[in-house]
A and B are shown apart, each in its own frame.
Chain A
Amino acid sequence: MKLSSLILKIAEKMDGQRSLNGCLHVLRGKRSGQTLQDADTFSVKPYFSLLPKLSEAAFTEAAGALRSRGLLAEKEGLLELTDAGREAAAALPEYRFDGWNYRGREAVFFQRLQLVVQTFSQLRDGQNSFLPITNDRTVQQFVRRLIPVKKESWPETAGQLAEELIAAIRASGMSDLQAALFSHRLTGAGATGWTWEQLEEAAGEPRNSLQLEWLEALHRLLAIAETPQAENAMPHLHKLSESIRVETPLTGSAAATKKLFDKGYSLEEISRARQLKTSTIEDHFTEMAANVPGFPIGLFVTEDDQQAVRLMVSDGDVKRLRLLKEAFPHLSYFQLRLVLSTMKGEPPV
């Protein structure tokens, strides 16, 4: 799976409305009001925060490849798909990412799984003490609670876990390559996990591509392990997926702003109290407007203005802020973004 394929998928949704950078921000999961809102408006939440450490260089290179293949163009700073690009995007398989809801926490799920498998594996070979694959104390404590006290039940539990894993891989519909990557990243007695280099060697594909495959495989597995039915069908995997999904939709900093706002502080007062720029607090407000039901947007934008903006957006499918600003010169960008962020869930016209 190539990075350029992800870019193509996102570009398909943002076609003509956003710059290339908007796309990078989505992949990196930038916590700005604008990006959070974009993720929603353009239905690219599945791709949000998939690659928090994505470098500008790698991104530019992948986008450049699309451009030179004539799939992607840029007009006045906005990215546009060519006809060939639209075709190529349609030909891509359907990915099952869920970046918005996992936000990198699939790594925690995998660490738990890795440690649980390693533990059972080493215990089976009578090695009660071993070098744990992760030094993360929270993960270690989590896993410790899952190991039965009674020694006699270890082999049985380990066997159940194996069957659950195999069943979940089958049900997830992941590819053979993904199943191979996933199972060789697990580690234990006599079968140490493989490094990314070793996986590259066996698969004959570059690491970046393999890591994307692996990421999607994890999202597929999580989706299965999380379901209420899994509680009975695959109890161990279900337990491992506990509290991986991000429950609070607000970023930490926005949550702190919300606390002050709920106490009756104004935007300027919050900015002063938290020693943050006004624009940052505005981002937090936009985030709140998008995520907190009943957020009093009327305090910032009159009912009439809200109506007018909404009408314009749904009529003309104009989502570009600059164009909206031209139409409503008396409203600030902040006000426009507030209105846009409350339009979540409305079907695109």
Chain B
Amino acid sequence: MRLEQELKKRFGFDSFRPGQEDVVRSVLDGKDTLAILPTGMGKSLCYQLPGDLMDGLVIIVSPLVSLMEDQAASIRRRGEKRVAAVNAFMPSDERRQLFAEIGTVKFLFISPEMMTRPDMTRFLSSQHVALLVVDEAHCISQWGFDFRPDYLRLGDFIRKAGNPVILALTATADGRVEKDILGYLEMSDANVFRQSLNRPNLYYAVQRAAGEQEKNRWITERLTTTSGPGILYVSSRKRVEELTALLQGHGIRIASYHAGKEAGDRQMIQQQFLSGELAWICATNAFGMGIHKDDIRQVIHDQMPASAAAYVQEAGRAGRDGKQSSAVLLYVPDDEQKVRFIVQHDLPDEAQTAHYLAMKKNGEAAASAAEFAGISETGARLIDYYGEHGGGTAVTEIFTGLRFDKEEKLRQMIGYAAGQTCLRSKLLHYFGEEPAREQIPCCSVCGDMAETWLESALPAPGERAFLPYEERIRLLLC
């Protein structure tokens, strides 16, 4: 088949991005396929194109409601209207209507919780499923950074649906996660495609500082001299607000973003960033998923994230357009303790687990039991799953294992920040890749570069002033 022709006809692209074609061919050959592609490399085309060419329903399991809506919308945008998304928030009459009209749907997005409900499994497995796409497939592995036990129940569906072709997609999977994905999704004879995580147009740098004050000074200097668009990642909401205020004081067009802000404000900030009204976003890791902005020139981390996988994901939001961009990590040795504290407290300890289980036994709802025991939503999901599969002691053992694993991942991150060897090669090594070929510019260890590709910052904008209301309304509508 002339795939390029189909690509041109249906998507308007002249050629595939690296890695896409192999995946598409493998799926069209009817092979189970695992594709590990860096974010921004056009994952969704890997199921849209074969889906178009295959007969039957394409089901896409996706863990985030917002992401799901976003992907469904982007398919509609190219003119494909046979798209639907089902999640737990959908009113049941709408859901019923959707099922009545399932024949008119080609791409069905669904959350794992919904998918594994018995009635849903029964209904969907009675349909002709051409392709089952498991997006963010690393969620199936307890070693992945966002484990979702519901993914483990997909195996049941796969058997009932008569083993449709499976396409598992993820941006990050080390060897262990890869093994889990293939095992749990019963993909014994699968093609595995791993696209290099190397991003040649990113310059990696670690900037060491003695303390927070020095960090602040460096960030201020950097943002007053070089331009965005850029993201400044910060570990706590409090620090987000502090830094934003500091930088605004220097006339930088920056706004803060975190999950604690009003939804409308969050949307507006995102929109202002996309349209260029804002040059910078200062955010927690709540910002980024589903943001399509190709010309981000800098991603700066005020503090290291908990794992190299998270760092690669966040820093990788820079330079999607292929132009030279920078990824800087600020590092103070004290950071280790702070990150360790956050990471380890994410997992419930023995007492919390016992407390939670006891309360649930007494008929308390899961959400409030978790709140009383002081454990996170993810923590509760983990206990629920392992509790069903082996009881209390098993849970404790697994958590001990997870704790060691998290520490191990943090060590990698510290190794990145504190080490003396090539940053690029180190990141690649963590994901089982060969060291990168020499390139210039590479990273701050290989050769500290003046980042000349960054443009100088625009002059500080004047004071913010309202437009007369008539003018603004006409600007919007006329």
Contact = CB atoms under 8 A, between A and B. Distances in A.
A182 B472 CA distance: 10
A11 to B, nearest CB: 30
B351 interface: no
B268 interface: yes
A177 to B, nearest CB: 9
A190 B475 contact: yes
Contacts of B477: 117, 120-121, 124, 158-159, 161-162, 188
A191 B268 contact: no
A202 B466 contact: yes
Interface in A153-192: 158-159, 161-162, 165-166, 169, 176, 179-180, 182-184, 186-192
A129 interface: yes
Contacts of B270: 131
B238 interface: no
Contact of A191 (B76, B466, B475): B475
Given A131-B270, A180-B466, A184-B466, A195 B265 contact: yes
A-side interface mostly: helix
A189 B261 CA distance: 23
Interface string A225-262: 00000000000000000000000000000000000000
A203 B264 CA distance: 19
A63 B346 CA distance: 40
A42 interface: no
Contacts of A137: 89
A121 B269 CA distance: 18
Interface in A80-107: none
Given A120-B477, A166-B473, A192 B277 contact: yes
A201 interface: yes
B478 A195 contact: no
Contact of B469 (A120, A133, A166, A194): A166
A197 interface: yes
Contacts of A198: 255, 464
Nearest to B65: A135
B464 A201 contact: yes
Nearest to B73: A129
A166 B472 contact: no
A55 interface: no
A203 B463 CA distance: 11
A91 to B, nearest CB: 27
B478 A159 contact: yes
B466 A196 contact: no
B-side interface mostly: helix
Contact of B474 (A162, A196, A201): A162
Contacts of A135: 66, 69, 263
Interface in B261-289: 261-265, 267-272, 274-275, 277
A114 B469 CA distance: 15
Contact of A166 (B274, B275, B470): B470
Nearest to B278: A192
A134 interface: yes
A162 B475 CA distance: 9
B476 interface: yes
A33 interface: no
B473 A183 contact: yes
A246 B76 CA distance: 36
A117 B472 CA distance: 12
Nearest to B476: A188
Contacts of B275: 190, 192
A165 B473 contact: yes
Contacts of B89: 137
A192 B268 contact: yes
Nearest to B273: A192
Interface in A118-136: 120-121, 124, 128-129, 131, 133-135
B389 interface: no
Contact of B263 (A134, A169, A176): A134
A176 B467 CA distance: 11
A121 B476 CA distance: 6
A29 interface: no
A182 B469 contact: yes
A202 B269 CA distance: 16
A180 B69 CA distance: 33
Contacts of A117: 476-477
Nearest to A116: B477
Contacts of A114: 264
A193 interface: yes
19 contacts: A121-B477, A129-B73, A131-B271, A131-B274, A134-B263, A158-B478, A159-B477, A162-B478, A166-B469, A183-B473, A184-B466, A186-B472, A186-B476, A188-B477, A192-B272, A193-B271, A194-B268, A195-B261, A201-B464
Please give me the 9 A-B residue pairs with the lowest Cβ-Cβ distance, nearest first: A162-B477, A183-B469, A179-B469, A180-B466, A195-B265, A188-B476, A183-B472, A129-B77, A202-B464
Given A114-B264, A197-B256, A202-B466, 10 more contacts: A121-B477, A129-B73, A187-B476, A188-B476, A191-B476, A193-B268, A194-B268, A195-B269, A196-B265, A202-B465
